[in-house]
Structure formats: structure tokens, C-alpha cells
Structure 1
Amino acid sequence: MPSVPAAPDELDQLPYAHLLQPHTGPLRPDRRYDTVLFDGLEQTGPAAGAGFLECAFTGAQFDGAKLRRSSFNEAWMHSSRLVATDFADSDWQDSALLGTVLAGVAWYGAALRRVVFRQCKLEAVNLRGATLRDVVFEDCLLRDVDFGEARMTDVAFPGSTLEEVRLGGAALTRTDLRGAVRLGLADGHLGLRGALISTHQLFELAPQFAQALGIVVKDD
């Protein structure tokens, strides 16, 4: 299992909960936020380059927001919605997203280190060329998620369902897929090199592996 930080389920369990100060109004580009609580935040405008240290987001709504090159260090996000949001080239470290929906999110070129996704739904999320190290997708649904050309080290998917996931050109190191409930790949089967899968998953993927390798399987 990857080495990831503890991801408490409740706000008051955060080690910095007593320091949080409530924030009102939209986020600002290149602004630095330290120990701030964003409760019910509604962000639609630009906030590129913003930085968040020991911040919490509860019930936040990001709709078409622009947070390219933003940074999240020891951030905690719960019951939030990220729709058509631009997190390209952003940096996430020692952070957690819990019970959060991500749809149409641009996350390409981002760096995620020691990040936990728990009971999240990721749909049409673009992580092409991203770097993921010590990342856990726990009890999540990943549908039409693109990991093409991504570098994934010590990533795990316990209890998660993968549907139409893309791995073309990805570089996997100690990426553990054995705990996935379903392993549905749209392409990039050869990108599984370096991954850990179960015998059952191997049998399920055998037809796709054969097709990717140009092997014709006939019994007559």
C-alpha cells in the first residue's frame, strides 16, 4: 500500500481544525491561503496560481473555475463538486478528497504526491502526463479517466471500479490494481507493464492483451 497521510472523515479530526478561519467570497489568482475553511465556496472565476496550506473545503462548488498552476498542501476536501475545472499543472501534496465528484476536470501535467481519494466519483477527468506518487483511490468510481503518458508510482485502487480508463503510454511502477472491483480499460493495455494485477484480472483481460499484441486466438 502506498505511503499516504491519514485522511480523517470529519472536519474536527484534522490536526489543524482549531486554527481554521472561515473565508467568504471567491478565490483570487496568485493568493496564498493558510489555515482557511472554505465552507460552501462557489468558485466560477479564475484563481490561477493560488496556494492553499492546511485548508479545508466543505460543500465547495467549482464550476468552470480556472486554477491552473495552483498548489494544495495538506488540503482536505469533503462533499464537494468540481465540474469543468482547470487544475492543469497544479501541485497536490499530503491532501485528501472525500465524497467528492469530479467531472470534466483538466488535471493534465499535475503532480500528486501522497494524496487520498475516498468514495469519490471521477468522470471524464484528464490526467494525461501527470505524475502520481503514493496516491490511493479508495472505494471510488473512475469512468473515462485518462492516465495517458502519466507516471504512476505506488498508486493503489482498493475497492474502486474502473470503467473505460485509458493508460496509453503510461509508465507504472508498483501500481497495485489487485484491489479494484472492476478493471475496465478503454486502451493502453500494454501500459500495464509495472502494475500488479490478480490472476482473476489477468484472465478477464486476456482477450484485450491478445488483441493489443496482434494475437489471433482460435480453437478450431
Structure 2
Amino acid sequence: MAGLDRVAGAISLDAMSRALVDLPYARRLAPFDGVLESDEEYDNVHVAGREFDEPDCRGSRFLESALTEVSIMRGSLRFTRLSDVWLRGVRMVGTNLGQSDWQDAELIDSAWSGVEIVSAGLRRVRFEGCKFESVNFRNCTLREVEFVDCVLRDVDFAEAALRQVSFPGSTLLRLAVDRARLQNVDLRGARTIDIASGLDALRGATINYGQLMDLAPAFAQAAGIIVSDD
């Protein structure tokens, strides 16, 4: 948890992030002080400064809502649908987001650790200044998704489909992309690219020459090439 708490100070946000007052539905937001339940509809709510321990809100729907400085520990948000949502300072630990659906969402200065988001769908989602540690995106579909100034460590994109995904200013450490399907994925803006497994799945990605040199040893190893000056 100490590492998650340091995220806010460690990663700076650029001018593109929106404030709560900038949201088109900001005036309609109503404070939410209840509990998160399954199969409920949360419309125009603002969840602020709350800590949820093992919440079960499977199958719920969040529409034109905001979450700020919220902590979700070991929760279940499977099959949830989040549309036009804005999240800032949201911490998730050991939470299951499997088969959730995200559309037109913005997540800022947030941290996920040990999160399962298997087989989820994300479209027009922007992550900014976020930290992901041991997050499982296996078999997800990501379309028009941005990871801006983020840190992704031990993140698993195996068998995921990524289309029009970019990582400007982000640090990618020990990324797994085994059998992933990439189309128009732009890695050129990433600060660091460290692929743990699945190098052959980078077809459909664009990198720059400097990144190619950094990845050359891993490409050689994957191809069974021995590089030696002796």
C-alpha cells in the first residue's frame, strides 16, 4: 500500500486532464454516501472520500458519475458497466473487474494493484498519471485507449486485442503480451519498454529507432540468436 500512496506525488499530470467542474454533467452530480450493491444503477452520483472493503456491486451500472479519492479493497465489480465516468485518486487493490464494460471514461492519478480485469471491454478510455502493478488485462478488448504518463509494472495483456492504443510518457516494465492482437498500437512515446514475454505479438505496433535498439537483445534472444564479440 505504501507504493500506491506515493503515486500522487511521483507522477505529474499534464494540462490535458479535466477537473471535476469541467465535466458536462458536473452540475447534476449528487453526493453518494450509501453502500455499493449489485445490479444497481448509479446515475449522476459523486462518490468522494470513501473506503469500501470487499464491496459486491456485480452487474451494476455507473452513468455520468464521478469517483474521487476512493479506495476499493478486494471488491467485486464483475459485469459492471461504466459509461461517461470520471475517476481521480481511486485506489483498487485485489479487486475483480472481470467482464466489465468501460466507455468514455477518464481515470486520473489512480492506482491499481492485483486487479483482475479479464475479458473486459474498454473503448475511448484515458488513463493519466496512473500506476498499475500486477494487473491482469488478459483477453480484454481495448479500443481508442490512452495510457498517459502511467507506470505499468508486471501487467498482463496476454490474448488481449489492442486497437488504436498509445502509451505517451508511460513506463512499461515486464509487460506480458503473449498471443495479443495489436492494431495501430503506438509505443513511440513510451519512456521505457520492457517486454517480459510475447515479443512476437508486437506485430501491429509502432516503435522508434531508439526503442528498437533497446529491444534488440530481447529480439535476438527470442529468435535464438547468440550475440558475441569474442
- TM-score greater than 0.5 by the shorter chain: yes
In structure 2, the residue corresponding to 1:18 is in which secondary structure? helix
**2:129 is matched by which residue type in structure 1?**
Q
Shift of residue 110, structure 1, vs aligned partner: 0.3
Aligned with residue 83 of structure 2, among 73, 76, 84:
73
State the partner residue of 2:145: 135
In 2, the alpha carbon distance for the partners of 1:51 and 1:40 equals 20
In 2, the alpha carbon distance for the partners of 1:9 and 1:185 equals 31
Provide Cα deviations, 1:5-54, integer angstroms capped at 9, x if missing partner: xx743111111000001111221101011111011232222110010000
Provide Cα deviations, 1:129-177, integer angstroms capped at 9, x if missing partner: 0000000000000000000100000000000001111111100000000
1:96-135 aligned within 5 A? 96-135=106-145
State the partner residue of 1:3: none
Aligned with residue 42 of structure 1, among 45, 51, 60:
51
State the partner residue of 2:33: 24
Could you state the TM-score of these two structures normalised by the residue count of structure 2? Answer: 0.91
**2:21 is matched by which residue type in structure 1?**
D
Q: Which runs of 5+ in 1 are unaligned?
A: 1-6
State the partner residue of 2:213: 203
In structure 1, the residue corresponding to 2:116 is in which secondary structure? coil
Aligned with residue 155 of structure 1, among 159, 165, 185:
165
The answer as to whether partners of 2:17 and 2:128 remain within 8 angstroms in 1 is no
State the partner residue of 2:154: 144
In 1, the alpha carbon distance for the partners of 2:50 and 2:83 equals 18
Query: Which one is further off, 41-50 or 188-197?
Result: 41-50
State the partner residue of 1:15: 24
Q: Which runs of 5+ in 2 are unaligned?
A: 1-15
In 2, the alpha carbon distance for the partners of 1:158 and 1:98 equals 14
In 1, the alpha carbon distance for the partners of 2:36 and 2:158 equals 30
In 1, the alpha carbon distance for the partners of 2:82 and 2:51 equals 18
**1:212 is matched by which residue type in structure 2?**
A
Matched, 1:169 2:141: no
The answer as to whether partners of 1:26 and 1:42 remain within 8 angstroms in 2 is no
The answer as to whether partners of 2:17 and 2:108 remain within 8 angstroms in 1 is no
Quote the sequence identity (%). Answer: 45
The answer as to whether partners of 1:153 and 1:172 remain within 8 angstroms in 2 is yes
In 2, the alpha carbon distance for the partners of 1:90 and 1:14 equals 23
Q: RMSD of the TM alignment (CA)?
A: 1.0
The answer as to whether partners of 2:93 and 2:115 remain within 8 angstroms in 1 is yes
**1:180 is matched by which residue type in structure 2?**
A
Could you state the TM-score of these two structures normalised by the residue count of structure 1? Answer: 0.95
In 2, the alpha carbon distance for the partners of 1:154 and 1:24 equals 37
Matched, 1:94 2:104: yes
Paired residues in the alignment total: 214
In 2, the alpha carbon distance for the partners of 1:189 and 1:169 equals 9
In 1, the alpha carbon distance for the partners of 2:81 and 2:50 equals 17
Shift of residue 211, structure 1, vs aligned partner: 1.2
In 2, the alpha carbon distance for the partners of 1:80 and 1:74 equals 16
In 1, the alpha carbon distance for the partners of 2:170 and 2:83 equals 25
**1:64 is matched by which residue type in structure 2?**
R
**2:38 is matched by which residue type in structure 1?**
P
In 2, the alpha carbon distance for the partners of 1:89 and 1:113 equals 13
In structure 1, the residue corresponding to 2:38 is in which secondary structure? coil
